[in-house]
C-alpha cells in the first residue's frame, strides 16, 4: 500500500499500482468523471500515470485554472494533426501551450497565408473535434521513436538530444497523428470545445537564428464557446488600448527604421516621462536615497569581474576605445559598486542607498521588439542598497511598503513571486544562494505577505522578489523587483568596518519600482487607455471659446490660460476657425483631462463650463472653483476625475 497526501493534508491509502484516476475514484466518482489530470508534487500527471508513494496530490477539473494549459496543449496537437492532413510534407518542431493559448512551429514546403490557409486549418481542426478521436499515451524506446518519426527531421533531432538512460519515451497518439510529449492531455479531441487560430509569424527552430526558419501558428482554446467569445472581445478591447496606437495618436513616442528598438520621445511623451521622473526624484529624497549617475560605457574587465560578460555578452553592444574592448552597460549595478568603492565605509554608513535613472542597452531579436514593452535601450529606476547582513529583513520590509504605496498611486494590483536560483546560469556557492533565498522567504512570511515560488528564475547573482501586475485586460506584467545579492559584493571585494573594527562584506540589494520607464509608460498607457490621471496627463486643460471671432470670449480664454499656466497647469487655447463640436471631439481624441467651453455667459459672469474626458455631461462653475478643483486633483494624484457637486 502507498500513502497519498491530499490538499487538506488528509491521507489516502492506495494499492501500489494505483493511478491518479484511481485516487480520484476513491475520493468521489463525480470528481473522477470530471477529472482532466492531476498535480503530483507540483508537477502535471496524466490520469493513467502511476502515483509515487507519499505524493502530494491535487485532482484538476476544468473548473481549475491549471486545466487550461492541458486543454491548450491538446489543441496544439490538434492543430498539428490538421496541418498533417492538409500539408502531408510539413515538418513539425515544437507545440507548447502559452499563457493565453498555444502555438506550433512548422516548416512548410511553401509559404502559407493567414487569410486563406488558417481558415482551412481551423475548419479541419473542428472536423477532428467532431470525430472525437481518443488521445492515447504510449511508451516507446528511442529506436521505436525514431522509426515512428523517420520522416520528421526535427523530431529526430529532439530524440537524439534525449539522454540514453534506457528509459522509455512518451508519445501521445490521436487518429493518424503522434507526437513526442510528456503530457498530460485531454482524453479525446472531442473534449476540445472551442478553438480559434489567431495569427502567423516567422521563427527559427529552437529559437536559434543559425537554424532553419519555420512558421509559427498561434491559436487559443477554451472549454466553452462563450469563454472563447469573451476572450475575443477582450482582444478587441486591447486593440483600442494598444499603447503603440495611443502613443502615435497622442504623439507620445515614435520608433524609426533608423533605430529599431530605440524609442524617440516626442514632446507629449516627454511631459509624461518628466512627471514620472520628478515623482521618482521626490520619492528618493523622501525615503533616504542618494542619487548617482554612472557612465554608459565601461571596460570589459569590469563586466568580467561582475559576471555579466559571461552571462550577457551575446546581448551586449561592444566597442573598442584606445584599442581595448568596452561595452555599453546592460545593467547599472557595477557602476553603483564603483561608487561604493570610491570611499571607505563603516557600519554607521549602512544602509547606503544609491539610486539611479540609468540608461541601459540590451540587444533583442528584431522579431521580439514591441513598442515600449520590448526595446533595445531603456531607463531603469534602479537602486543599489548596501547593508549589513542583520539589516536585510528591516530593509526589505521597508521596500515592500514603498512598493505598495507607489503601486496604489497608479491603481495597480500586484502579486509577489520569489524567483530562486537558476538551474545552471548562476555565480557563487549554492550554500550562499540557499541562505539568501531563506532570508527573502523569512521577510515575506514574518510580515504575512503572500507570495508564489518561481523556480529557477532568479538573477544570475541572486534570488529576487518580482512584482507582477494584472492590468485591466487581465494580462500579467512584471515591473518591480527586489534582488538579494551576496555574490557581487564578494566578487568586487567590497567591505565596511564593523563595530568591532573588523572588515566585513556588505550585502547588496538591487531594486527597481517601475522596472523601466519605457515599459511602465506602455503599461499605464494601456491601463488608463491614454486617459492618464490629471497629474500625469500631457495636456491637462484645453480652453475652447465658443465663437472664435468674439473678442471678449478670446480675451477671457487667454486670461484664464495665463492664470492656469502661472499655477503650473499644462493648458492650451484652441481658437482655430473650426466649429465647436469638431474642437471638442479633437480634445477628447487627445485625452485632455478637462475641456473648458467659454461662451457669452462664462466671460460675463466669470464662469467656466467644463467637461471631463470620456464624459458627455458638462458642468458650469465659477473660475475660482475650477482652479481649486484641478489643483486638488493634481496635488492629491487622483486616479479618476469627477464633477464637483
Q: Which residue, 132, 127, 40, is CA-closest to 82?
A: 127
504 catalytically annotated: no
Residues recorded for the chain: 645
In the block, which residue shows the cell 518628466?
A: 274
Q: Considering the candidates 84, 362, 376, 641, report the single residue annotated as catalytic.
A: 362
User: Which of 273, 464, 583, 641 does the annotation list as catalytic?
Assistant: 464
Long-range contacts of 410-414 (CB under 8 A, 24+ apart): 410/524, 410/527, 410/639, 411/527, 411/639, 412/469, 412/471, 412/527, 413/469, 413/470, 414/467, 414/468, 414/469, 414/470, 414/480
Catalytic residue among 333, 339, 479, 561: 333
Cα gap 492→484, rounded to integer Å: 16
Can you list the positions of beta strands (E) in 118-238?
136-140, 169-174, 177-180, 194-204, 213-222
Report residue 141 as a C-alpha cell: 524506446
Q: Active site residue: 91, 133, 174, 380, which one?
A: 380
**Contact in structure between 353 and 385 (CB atoms under 8 Å):** yes
**361 CB contacts (<8 Å, ≥6 apart)?**
296, 316, 317, 328, 329, 330, 376, 377
As beta bridge partners, residue 448 has none
Q: Which of 25, 27, 29, 46 is nearest to 37 (CA)?
A: 46
Marked catalytic residue, from 22, 46, 105, 382: 382
Q: Is 510 a catalytic residue?
A: yes
333 labelled catalytic: yes
Cα torsion angle, 510, 516, 519, 520, sign? positive
Active site residue 361: no
- Surface-to-core class of residue 579, CB atoms within 10 Å of its CB (0-12 exposed, 13-18 middle, 19+ buried): exposed
| Residue 499 C-beta-side C-alpha neighbours within 13 Å | 1
CB atoms within 10 A of CB 211: 14
Rounded to 5°, the CA angle 478-480-486 comes to 115
Burial bucket for residue 443 (CB in 10 Å: 0-12, 13-18, 19+): buried
Please say if 391 is a catalytic residue. Answer: no
* CA distances (Å), origin 458, targets 239, 419, 475, 481, 482: 33, 5, 22, 11, 11
Helices (runs of H) and strands (runs of E) counted in the chain: 20, 32
The answer to whether the Cα torsion of 487, 489, 491, 496 is positive or negative is negative
> For residue 573, which of 564, 581, 582 has the smallest C-alpha distance?
564
C-alpha cell at 69: 494549459
Residue 484: DSSP 8-state: E
Q: Is 464 a catalytic residue?
A: yes
Contacts of 274 (CB under 8 A, 6+ apart): none
CA–CA separation, 246 vs 251, rounded Å? 8
- HEC letters along 296-345: CEEEHHHHHHHCHHHHHHHHCCEEEECCEEEEECCCCHHHHHHHHHCCCC
Active-site annotation holder among 216, 421, 510, 583: 510
Closest CA to 524 of 360, 376, 372: 372
The catalytically annotated residue of 77, 353, 384, 613 is 384
- Contact assessment for residue 527 and residue 471, using Cβ atoms and an 8 Å cutoff: yes
- Give one word for 9, left, alpha or beta, with left for phi > 0 and alpha for psi -120 to 50: left
- Rounded Cα distance, 71 and 520, in Å: 32
Q: Catalytic residue numbers?
A: 333, 362, 380, 382, 384, 464, 510
Amino acid at each position: 500500500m502507498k500513502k497519498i497526501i491530499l490538499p487538506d493534508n488528509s491521507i489516502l491509502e492506495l494499492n501500489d499500482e494505483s493511478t491518479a484516476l484511481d485516487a480520484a475514484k476513491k475520493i468521489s466518482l463525480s470528481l473522477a468523471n470530471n477529472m482532466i489530470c492531476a498535480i503530483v508534487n507540483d508537477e502535471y500527471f496524466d490520469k493513467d500515470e502511476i502515483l509515487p508513494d507519499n505524493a502530494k496530490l491535487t485532482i484538476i477539473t476544468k473548473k481549475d485554472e491549471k486545466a487550461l494549459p492541458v486543454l491548450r496543449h491538446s489543441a496544439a496537437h490538434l492543430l498539428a494533426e490538421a496541418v498533417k492532413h492538409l500539408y502531408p510534407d510539413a515538418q513539425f518542431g515544437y507545440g507548447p501551450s502559452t499563457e493565453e493559448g498555444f502555438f506550433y512551429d512548422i516548416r512548410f514546403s511553401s509559404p502559407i497565408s493567414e487569410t486563406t490557409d488558417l481558415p482551412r486549418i481551423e475548419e479541419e481542426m473542428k472536423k477532428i473535434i467532431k470525430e472525437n478521436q481518443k488521445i492515447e499515451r504510449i511508451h516507446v524506446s528511442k529506436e521505436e521513436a525514431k522509426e515512428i518519426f523517420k520522416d520528421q527531421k526535427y523530431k529526430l533531432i529532439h530524440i537524439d538530444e534525449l539522454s540514453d538512460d534506457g528509459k522509455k519515451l512518451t508519445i501521445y497518439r490521436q487518429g493518424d497523428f503522434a507526437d513526442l510529449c510528456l503530457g498530460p492531455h485531454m482524453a479525446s479531441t472531442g473534449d476540445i470545445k472551442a478553438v480559434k487560430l489567431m495569427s502567423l509569424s516567422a521563427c527559427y527552430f529552437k529559437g536559434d537564428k543559425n537554424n532553419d526558419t519555420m512558421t509559427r501558428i498561434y491559436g487559443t482554446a477554451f472549454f466553452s464557446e462563450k469563454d472563447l467569445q469573451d476572450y475575443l472581445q477582450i482582444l478587441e478591447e486591447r486593440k483600442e488600448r494598444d499603447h503603440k496606437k495611443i502613443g502615435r495618436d497622442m504623439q507620445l513616442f515614435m520608433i524609426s527604421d533608423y533605430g529599431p528598438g530605440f524609442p524617440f520621445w516626442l514632446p507629449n511623451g516627454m511631459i509624461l516621462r518628466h512627471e514620472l521622473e520628478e515623482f521618482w526624484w521626490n520619492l528618493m529624497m523622501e525615503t533616504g536615497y542618494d542619487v548617482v549617475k554612472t557612465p554608459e560605457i565601461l571596460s570589459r574587465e569590469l563586466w568580467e569581474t561582475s559576471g555579466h560578460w559571461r552571462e550577457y555578452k551575446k546581448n551586449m553592444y561592444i566597442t573598442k576605445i584606445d584599442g581595448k574592448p568596452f561595452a555599453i552597460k546592460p545593467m547599472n549595478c557595477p557602476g553603483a559598486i564603483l561608487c561604493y568603492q570610491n570611499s571607505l565605509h563603516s557600519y554607521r554608513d549602512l544602509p547606503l542607498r544609491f539610486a539611479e535613472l540609468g540608461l541601459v542597452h540590451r540587444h533583442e531579436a528584431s522579431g521580439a521588439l514591441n513598442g515600449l514593452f520590448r526595446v533595445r535601450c531603456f531607463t531603469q529606476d534602479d537602486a543599489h542598497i548596501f547593508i549589513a547582513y542583520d539589516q536585510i529583513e528591516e530593509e526589505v520590509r521597508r521596500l515592500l511598503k514603498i512598493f505598495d504605496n507607489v503601486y496604489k498611486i497608479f491603481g495597480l494590483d500586484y502579486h509577489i513571486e520569489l524567483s530562486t536560483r537558476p538551474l545552471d546560469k548562476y555565480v557563487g556557492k549554492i550554500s550562499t544562494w540557499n541562505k539568501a533565498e531563506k532570508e527573502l522567504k523569512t521577510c515575506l512570511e514574518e510580515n504575512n505577505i503572500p507570495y508564489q515560488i518561481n523556480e529557477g528564475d532568479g538573477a544570475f547573482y541572486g534570488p529576487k522578489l518580482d512584482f507582477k501586475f494584472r492590468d485591466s485586460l487581465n494580462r500579467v506584467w512584471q515591473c518591480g523587483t527586489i534582488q538579494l545579492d551576496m555574490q557581487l559584493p564578494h566578487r568586487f571585494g567590497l567591505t565596511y568596518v564593523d563595530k568591532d573594527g573588523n572588515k566585513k562584506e556588505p550585502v547588496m540589494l538591487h531594486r527597481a519600482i517601475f522596472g523601466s520607464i519605457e515599459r511602465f509608460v506602455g503599461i499605464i498607457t494601456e491601463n488608463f487607455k491614454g486617459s492618464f490621471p490629471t497629474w500625469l496627463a500631457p495636456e491637462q486643460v484645453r480652453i475652447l471659446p465658443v465663437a472664435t471671432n468674439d473678442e471678449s470670449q478670446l480675451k477671457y480664454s487667454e486670461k484664464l490660460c495665463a492664470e492656469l499656466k502661472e499655477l503650473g497647469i499644462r493648458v492650451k487655447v484652441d481658437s482655430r476657425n473650426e466649429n465647436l463640436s469638431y474642437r471638442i471631439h479633437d480634445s477628447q481624441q487627445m485625452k485632455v483631462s478637462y475641456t473648458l467651453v467659454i461662451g457669452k455667459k462664462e466671460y460675463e459672469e466669470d464662469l467656466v463650463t467644463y467637461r471631463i474626458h470620456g464624459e458627455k455631461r458638462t458642468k458650469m462653475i465659477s473660475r475660482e472653483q475650477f482652479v481649486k478643483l484641478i489643483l486638488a486633483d493634481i496635488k492629491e494624484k487622483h486616479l479618476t476625475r469627477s464633477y464637483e457637486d
